[in-house]
């Protein structure tokens, strides 16, 4: 099969959906003439023209609000918010206007928009915040976080076709990753986890850029004879609870990995869901989370190690749960 | 010499003009050298080059006093130099070493230097405009003579925060001067695509404050207009919006490809703020070629010494990342 980079896979998804459905249009800063800072919207202006590919002023709140209105009246907008930290400006429109639209109209209207944004990872104070947990806390929103090119394309197509507002979170560290991607349009359903590694000893749940980190850790640990099962939920809402619970019933040990801050992070939700499930009786060790310990991501690389968890932290946590009891 | 047309400030002496020239030149030399060091991998980051826009920050900050405060935009390097920050200090901030003002927590363009009246901006374009209004309000409430100067780009003036801030400043009569650096682009989006008006200064009218268009390539014009607005603010007459028409000669940030029309860049390069003041100083016999050369050599020498010193500084201890998240240690938060 042909390979594409993550950003190219996203671009292809947008192009194919815009070809298929003329209600789909894209808007955001630097997306049209420039083709997007990370080239996700490259070539769309030339193909679809300025009415469907709109360079907007710096108005994050305004453009998300506008997309909600357009979605309510029959369009399928895909908004780009250049990076996650900027979505803070648009929270009112996302949390209040978008998320509640179906509910307040009792289903007579709904807001099928996609807000694409990106976690920067190793950025700096105002460009590294991984805020996915915020959206999972708001009823009415779906939250999608693809970890490779294949899922990027299939999940974006699903998100665009989905009848409800979707927060679609990409990752800068993944844009250049290459992988096999089918040429035709296809969907990856929301709410279905995948298992990039199977193993019997420890379940590691990770998403977005941390899937690769978890896989690398799993490979090193395999050499020590520890079988790690890596689960990538791919979407946080809806969440494939059954897949995770079944895995923990098998392994009896759970490590959850995210780059976001531990306190109030989505890892807490996963841990709670497992302890509330039939997997509780199978647990042989406390659940461990590998996450940011509660600090802003600083500018200086010298200060990064405690702030940005990596492979060594995952390996350490797996060994801890293996050694327990 | 405050006049009805918004022009103010004291008469500039020869020494002032030469110093303004030196500050702009220093900014140019620093930026160009840093971009080379970044390309060579000697610095971990680049900067948003202010090349072409030096007159705005220098002219606006030159007449400010010790009680005044500024919040630079991502591009107002000149606010730092004019308020007395050294090249060594900014190199320390870029390297994120233990000698940097935030001990590695934040970089040069969003650095704060409180003892020199500089509040840190943020990476969120436009977010600091209401903060500047709040700072100005505090100065007024505390009975200070100080005035706040808020720098931001044309792109930032499309943010809701800009509009809310101007309205608040006007109704609260906050002693603030809004200095818009209109360089005609927000990253890659032309100002004309992002707004349906020609002059951002016109927006002032909607909020009940004066708005003035200023030649942002003429450092003396920027100085006089800012001093007029500062005088108004000090006298309790409220805020002013100044729109400095300018242009960045280089792309938004080193990774951005240049896609602006070559002819447009050329046209603006003919109005290089450093050359414009340089010509005047030469015509008036205040600074000749030789004098300019010596000035540049002195700046280069300081810069080379600074990079050596900055690179010799230790890095902060990684555990310092836990400091100053709160006053108490992070562990005291329980979770
Ligand atoms: C709220 C917000 N939106 C988008 C960005 C990404 N971004 C960084 S600089 C920039 C352009 C800013 O344009 P302008 O305000 O005109 O300042 P200039 O860069 O031209 O000096 C953009 C869009 C950001 N940092 N903050
Ligand atoms: Mg601009």
Residue nearest ligand 1's atom 9 by CA: B187
Query: Do A144 and A260 fall into the same domain?
Result: no
Residues in Cβ contact with A325 at an 8 Å cutoff, skipping those fewer than 6 apart: A284, A285
Q: Has residue A136 been placed in a domain?
A: yes
Of B110, B188, B330, the CB nearest to A33: B188
- Taking the centre of ligand 2 as the mean of its atom positions, its distance from the CA of residue B186, in whole angstroms, is 4
Pocket test for ligand 1, best of B182, B187, B247 (most atoms within 8 A of CB): B187
CB proximity A57 to B under 8 Å:
yes
Instruction: Decide if B131 is inside a domain.
Output: yes
Phi and psi at B157, nearest 5°, equal -75, 0
B126 touches A at CB < 8 Å? yes
Quick check: is B332 in a domain? Answer: no
Output the tens digit of pLDDT for each of chain B's 335 residues.
445 678 888 999 999 999 999 999 999 999 999 999 999 999 999 999 999 999 999 999 999 999 999 999 999 999 999 999 999 999 999 999 999 999 999 999 999 999 999 999 999 999 999 999 999 999 999 999 999 999 999 999 999 999 999 999 999 999 999 999 999 999 999 999 999 999 999 999 999 999 999 999 999 999 999 999 999 999 999 999 999 999 999 999 998 989 999 999 999 999 999 999 999 999 999 999 999 999 999 999 999 999 999 999 999 999 999 999 999 999 999 99
Q: What is the distance between the alpha carbons of residues B301 and B297, in angstroms, rounded to a whole number?
A: 6
B193 lines ligand 1 (CB under 6 A): no
Q: What CATH number does residue B141 fall under?
A: 3.40.50.970
Among candidates A29, A61, A124 on the partner chain, residue whose Cβ is nearest the Cβ of B107: A124
CA distance A201 to A251: 5
The residues, ordered by sequence, that sit 6+ positions from A116 with a Cβ below 8 Å of its Cβ are A10, A28, A40, A78, A79, A80, A81, A156, A168, A170
Domain membership of residue B155 as a residue range: 2-322
Residue B334 lies in a domain: no
DSSP letter, residue B314: P
Structure tokens at A195: 């298992």
> Does residue B18 form part of some domain?
yes
Q: What pLDDT, on a 0 to 100 scale, did the predictor assign at position B314?
A: 98
A294 touches chain B (CB under 8 A): yes
Q: Give A192 to chain B, closest Cα distance, Å.
A: 31
C-beta B154 within 6 A of ligand 1: yes
Nearest to A30 among B105, B189, B195 (CB): B189
A207 and A167 within one domain: no
Q: Do A262 and A287 fall within a single domain?
A: yes
Residue nearest to atom 12 of ligand 1 (CA): B186
The atom of ligand 1 lying closest to the CA of A127 is 25
Other C-beta atoms closer than 10 Å to the C-beta of A323 total: 8
Query: Would you call B122 an interface residue with chain A, using a CB distance cutoff of 8 Å?
Result: yes
Does residue A121 fall inside a structural domain?
A: yes
pLDDT of residue B3: 58
The verdict on A240 and A125 lying in the same domain is no
How far apart CA A3 and CA A36 sit, in angstroms, is: 21
Residue B329 falls inside a structural domain: no
Residues A224 and A251 in one domain: yes
Are residues A206 and A150 part of one domain? no
- Residue A16 belongs to some domain of the structure: yes
Residue B13: inside a domain: yes
Eight-class DSSP state of B41: T
- Domain presence at residue B327: no
The structure tokens listed for B274 are 């450093």
CA distances A229 to A217, B35, B178, B190, Å, are 11, 46, 56, 50
- Is residue A246 one of the residues assigned to a domain? yes
Q: Per DSSP, what are the bridge partners of residue B281?
A: none
* Three-state SS annotation for chain A: CCEEEHHHHHHHHHHHHHHHCCCEEEEECCCCCCCCCCCCCCCHHHHHCCCCEEECCCCHHHHHHHHHHHHHCCCEEEEECCCHHHHHHHHHHHHHHHHHHHHHCCCCCCCCCEEEEEECCCCCCCCCCCCHHHHHCCCCCEEECCCCHHHHHHHHHHHHHCCCCEEEEEEHHHCCCEEECCCCCCCCCCCCCEEEECCCCEEEEECCHHHHHHHHHHHHHHHCCCCEEEEECCEEECCCHHHHHHHHHHHCCEEEEEEEECCCCHHHHHHHHHHCCHHHHHCCCCCEEEEECCCCCCCCHHHHHHHCCCHHHHHHHHHHHHHCC
Token output for A152: 């990027």
A189 assigned to some structural domain: no
- Do A177 and A86 lie in a common domain? yes
Within a domain: A318: yes
Same domain, A148 and A226: no
Within the 246-275 window of chain B, which residues sit less than 8 Å (CB to CB) from chain A? 259
Among the candidates A138, A156, A181, a domain finishes at: A181
A113, A123, A151, B109 from A185: Cα distances, Å:
19, 33, 12, 44
A238 and A172, same domain (yes or no): no
Indicate which atom in ligand 1 lies nearest the CA of residue B187. Answer: 11
Domain total for chain A?
2
**pLDDT tens readout for residues A21-68:** 999 999 999 999 999 999 999 999 999 999 999 999 999 999 999 999
**In chain B, how many domains are there?**
1
A219 lies in some domain: yes
B52 alpha carbon, closest ligand: 1
Tokens of B59: 């002219």
The whole-model pTM stands at 0.96
Do A49 and A98 have their domain in common? yes
Q: Assess if residue A15 is contained within a domain.
A: yes
Domain match, A162 and A226 both: no
Distance B203 CA to ligand 2 centre (A): 16
Asked whether B48 and B39 are in contact (CB, 8 A), the reply is no
- Establish if B333 belongs to a structural domain: no
Q: Which helix (H) or strand (E) element contains residue B45?
A: none
CATH number at residue A257: 3.40.50.920
Which positions of chain A have pLDDT values less than 50? none
Q: Does B319 touch chain A (CB under 8 A)?
A: yes
CATH number at residue A147: 3.40.50.970
Residue span of the structural domain in which A55 resides? 2-181
Best probe of the B interface among A303, A305, A308, A310, by most B CBs < 10 A, is A303
Domain match, A24 and A118 both: yes
Distances in whole angstroms, Cα of residue B148 to Cα of each of A112, B60, B86: 44, 11, 22
Please work out whether the CB of residue B153 comes within 6 Å of at least one atom of ligand 1.
Answer: yes
Q: How many CB atoms neighbour CB B58 within 10 A?
A: 30
Q: CA-to-CA distance for A44 and A33, rounded, in angstroms?
A: 9
The ipTM estimated for the assembled molecules is 0.94
């Amino acid at each position: 099969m042909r390979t594409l980079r993550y950003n190219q896979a996203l671009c292809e998804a947008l192009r194919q959906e815009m070809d298929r459905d003329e209600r789909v249009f894209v808007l955001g800063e630097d997306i049209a003439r420039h083709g997007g800072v990370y080239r996700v919207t490259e070539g769309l202006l030339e193909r679809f023209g300025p009415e469907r590919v709109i360079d907007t002023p710096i108005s994050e709140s305004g453009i998300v609000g506008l997309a909600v209105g357009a979605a309510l009246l029959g369009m399928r907008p895909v908004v780009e918010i250049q990076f996650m930290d900027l979505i803070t400006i648009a929270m009112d429109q996302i949390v209040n206007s978008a998320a509640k639209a179906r509910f307040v109209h009792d289903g007579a209207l709904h807001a099928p928009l996609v807000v694409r944004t990106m976690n920067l990872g190793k950025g700096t104070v105002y460009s590294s915040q991984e805020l996915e947990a915020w959206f999972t806390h708001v009823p009415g929103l779906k939250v999608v976080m693809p970890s490779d090119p294949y899922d990027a394309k299939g999940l974006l197509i699903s998100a665009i076709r989905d009848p409800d507002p979707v927060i679609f979170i990409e990752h800068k560290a993944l844009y250049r990753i290459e992988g096999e991607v089918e040429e035709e349009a296809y969907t990856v359903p929301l709410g279905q986890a995948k298992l990039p590694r199977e193993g019997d000893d420890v379940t590691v749940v990770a998403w977005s850029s941390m899937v690769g980190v978890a896989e690398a850790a799993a490979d090193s640990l395999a050499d020590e004879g520890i079988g790690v099962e890596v689960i990538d939920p791919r979407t946080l809402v809806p969440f494939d609870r059954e897949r995770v619970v079944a895995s923990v019933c098998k392994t009896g040990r759970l490590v959850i990995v995210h780059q976001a801050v531990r306190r109030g992070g989505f890892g807490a939700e996963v841990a709670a869901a497992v302890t509330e499930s039939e997997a509780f009786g199978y647990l042989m060790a406390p659940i461990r989370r590998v996450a940011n310990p509660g600090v802003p991501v600083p500018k200086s690389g010298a200060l990064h190690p405690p702030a940005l968890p990596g492979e060594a932290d995952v390996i350490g946590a797996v060994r801890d749960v293996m050694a327990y009891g | 010499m405050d006049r009805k047309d918004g022009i103010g400030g004291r008469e500039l002496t020869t020494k002032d003009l030469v110093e303004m020239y030196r500050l702009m030149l220093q900014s140019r030399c620093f930026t160009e050298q840093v971009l080379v060091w970044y390309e060579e991998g000697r610095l971990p980051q680049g900067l948003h080059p202010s090349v072409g826009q030096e007159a705005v920050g220098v002219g606006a900050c030159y007449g400010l006093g010790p009680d005044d405060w500024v919040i630079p935009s991502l591009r107002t390097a000149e606010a730092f130099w004019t308020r007395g920050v050294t090249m060594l200090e900014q190199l320390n901030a870029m390297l994120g070493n233990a000698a940097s003002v935030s001990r590695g927590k934040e970089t040069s363009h969003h650095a704060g230097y409180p003892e020199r009246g500089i509040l840190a901006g943020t990476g969120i374009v436009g977010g600091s405009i209401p903060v500047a209004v709040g700072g100005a309000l505090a100065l007024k409430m505390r009975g200070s003579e100080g005035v706040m100067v808020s720098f931001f780009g044309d792109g930032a003036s499309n943010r809701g925060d800009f509009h809310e801030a101007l309205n608040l400043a006007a109704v609260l009569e906050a002693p603030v001067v809004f200095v818009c650096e209109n360089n005609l682009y927000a990253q890659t989006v032309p100002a004309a695509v992002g707004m349906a008006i020609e002059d951002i200064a016109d927006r002032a009218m909607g909020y009940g404050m004066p708005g003035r268009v200023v030649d942002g390539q003429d450092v003396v014009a920027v100085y006089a207009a800012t001093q007029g607005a500062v005088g108004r603010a000090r006298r309790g007459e409220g805020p002013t919006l100044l729109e400095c028409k300018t242009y960045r000669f280089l792309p938004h940030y080193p990774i951005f490809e240049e896609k602006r029309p070559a002819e447009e860049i050329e046209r603006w390069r003919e109005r290089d703020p450093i050359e414009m003041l340089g010509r005047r100083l030469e015509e008036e016999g205040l600074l000749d070629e030789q004098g300019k050369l010596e000035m540049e050599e002195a700046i280069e020498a300081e810069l080379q010494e600074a990079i050596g010193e900055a690179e010799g500084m230790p890095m902060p201890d990684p555990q310092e990342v836990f400091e100053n998240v709160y006053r108490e240690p992070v562990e005291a938060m329980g979770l």
